[in-house]
């Protein structure tokens, strides 16, 4: 059954899902030329079809050996990718909490419209409006090259999406003054960037940062200059007119060349850059990201073994994991990098927010599937919140798990996220984060 709502630049025709939600796909929230900041989307006449997902940012294929598996029904790719999905229990006069999802993917892959990230369970169980935007990634979103690209365009796209939510949430039965932004991995890192910006003030009331790699700080001038040099050398032509396929090829070669031993790097080549609008310098970002702490409730946490998802079973490491002594050594290495990249910086950020008068909650997610070698690795919390059985059926990180049991366990996690979005408190029993307080553990 179709459903029509007036929002954005005109009327939109969505559809009613099997579980009674109204879903609108491919809604343009902004438009942008290559390497240009986003501008308001152009209005349209008549009723715009919003029953199909819009294009996603150009990106390399999802690795088939990834812990999440390969997304099903992947939308097409195009530079004109600034669109979003809205799920609502009803487009009425109610003022429901709004949850805006910022996906991860190391700033080079992913899309809010992937089936992994469907917000149907949250919208249905919590009577909330769920919004998932797509934004520019990789070189098209984060190349900083003077005279060509200013950098941070993907972050500006996220700001544009949040402004669209502020201006249009009410048309979908949402409350523009009760917005929670939540994200995982690069999406959570993006939220930490947004929290430093005066431009983001008032666009969200609460924030949930899942597995934010805050050990990766902003790219400085030397890093962005080196990335630009590697990229332009590999591309061999004007980035402003090069075919998208050539952009992606040069992007992939740059990522490989920018990595150190084992392909590791301290700052991803294509990621938010310091001293490039709208972000301040590195030192200023570290201090200013808590500047509005009393105004934004925050929940922040990690999985217990983040680095398992990046290192377990990888070439060179798999051989070491075959023998007890070296396996224990690798476990220690993975635990150490997890603390350095995720756990320690997340706790430090929580401490910083609490010290500035913010209301902060922290957690560690420590569940692992019975037959998965990844345990409580990076991304394992996502199926408890987003997507459905069909989206996660082939996920290696869920090996041996029964979906019905997982979904039932997920109700507790979803209830905590929904309670936080509605009240600012995950549950009455969940203690506030305070400096030096041990994180609360989820079962």
Mean pLDDT lowest among 129-143, 233-247, 284-298, 328-342: 328-342
Percent of the chain with pLDDT over 90: 82
Report pLDDT for 443: 37
From CA 20, how far away is CA 88, in angstroms rounded? 9
Residue 438 has pLDDT above 50, yes or no: no
Residue 283 has pLDDT above 70, yes or no: yes
Binning pLDDT at 50, 70 and 90, where does residue 63 land? confident
Q: Give the closest residue to 227 by CA, choosing from 252, 244, 245.
A: 252
From CA 73, how far away is CA 117, in angstroms rounded? 13
The per-residue pLDDT of the chain, averaged, comes to 92
Q: What are the structure tokens assigned to 200, written together?
A: 């983001």
Q: Quick check: pTM over 0.85?
A: yes
Strand, coil or helix: 219: strand
Residues with catalytic annotation? 185, 306, 378
Q: At residue 363, what are phi and psi to the nearest 5 degrees?
A: -155, 165
Q: What are the structure tokens assigned to 119, written together?
A: 């917000």
Give the pLDDT confidence of 373-391 residue by residue, as tens digits: 999 999 999 999 999 999 9
Binning pLDDT at 50, 70 and 90, where does residue 176 land? very high
Q: How many CB atoms lie within 10 A of CB 408?
A: 10
Report pLDDT for 318: 62
- The residues that bridge with 210 in the sheet, in sequence order, are 184, 301
DSSP string over 251-314: HHHHHHHH--GGG--SS-SSS-BTTSTT---HHHHHHHTTTTGGGSEEEEEEETTTTHHHHTT-
Element (H, E) at 383: helix 382-385
Report pLDDT for 314: 73
Dihedral sign for Cα atoms in the order 5, 7, 9, 15? negative
From CA 73, how far away is CA 71, in angstroms rounded? 7
The CB-based long-range contact list for 162-168 (8 Å cut-off, 24+ gap) reads 162/100, 162/194, 162/200, 162/203, 162/204, 163/203, 164/8, 164/29, 164/30, 164/84, 165/98, 165/100, 165/131, 165/203, 166/202, 166/203, 168/7, 168/8
């Amino acid at each position: 059954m179709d459903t029509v709502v007036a929002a954005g630049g005109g009327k939109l025709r969505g559809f009613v899902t099997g579980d009674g939600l109204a879903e609108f796909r491919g809604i343009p929230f902004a438009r942008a030329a290559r390497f240009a900041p986003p501008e308001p989307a152009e209005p349209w006449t008549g009723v715009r079809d919003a029953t199909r997902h819009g294009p996603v940012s150009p990106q390399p294929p999802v690795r088939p050996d990834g812990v999440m598996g390969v997304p099903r029904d992947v939308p097409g790719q195009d530079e004109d990718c600034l669109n979003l999905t809205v799920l609502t229990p009803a487009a009425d006069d109610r003022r429901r909490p709004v949850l805006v999802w910022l996906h991860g993917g190391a700033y080079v892959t992913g899309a809010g419209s992937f089936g992994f990230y469907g917000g149907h369970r949250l919208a249905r169980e919590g009577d909330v409006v769920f919004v998932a935007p797509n934004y520019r990634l990789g070189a098209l979103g984060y190349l900083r090259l003077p005279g060509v690209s200013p950098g941070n365009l993907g972050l500006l796209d996220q700001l544009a999406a949040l402004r669209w939510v502020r201006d249009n949430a009410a048309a979908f039965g949402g409350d523009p003054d009760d917005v929670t932004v939540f994200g995982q991995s690069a999406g959570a890192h993006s939220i930490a960037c947004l929290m430093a910006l005066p431009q983001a003030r008032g666009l969200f009331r609460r924030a949930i940062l899942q597995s934010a790699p805050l050990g990766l700080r902003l790219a400085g001038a030397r890093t962005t200059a080196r990335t630009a040099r590697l990229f332009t050398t590999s591309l061999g032509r004007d980035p402003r007119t090069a075919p998208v396929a050539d952009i992606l090829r040069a992007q992939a070669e740059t990522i490989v060349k920018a990595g150190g031993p084992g392909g590791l790097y301290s700052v991803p080549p294509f990621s938010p850059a310091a001293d490039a609008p709208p972000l301040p310098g590195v030192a200023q970002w570290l201090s200013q990201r808590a500047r509005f702490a009393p105004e934004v409730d925050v929940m922040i946490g990690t999985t217990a073994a983040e680095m398992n998802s990046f290192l377990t079973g990888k070439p060179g490491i798999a051989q070491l994991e075959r023998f007890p002594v070296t396996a224990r050594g690798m476990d220690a290495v993975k635990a150490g990098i997890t603390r350095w990249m995720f756990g320690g910086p997340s706790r430090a950020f929580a401490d910083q927010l609490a010290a500035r008068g913010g209301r902060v909650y922290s957690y560690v997610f420590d569940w692992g599937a019975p037959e998965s070698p990844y345990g409580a690795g990076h991304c394992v919390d996502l199926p408890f919140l987003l997507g459905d059985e069909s989206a996660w059926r082939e996920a290696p990180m869920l090996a041996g798990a029964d979906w019905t049991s997982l979904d039932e366990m997920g109700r507790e996690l979803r209830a905590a996220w929904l309670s936080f979005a509605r009240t600012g408190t995950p549950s009455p029993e969940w203690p506030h984060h305070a400096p030096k307080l041990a994180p609360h553990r989820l079962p």
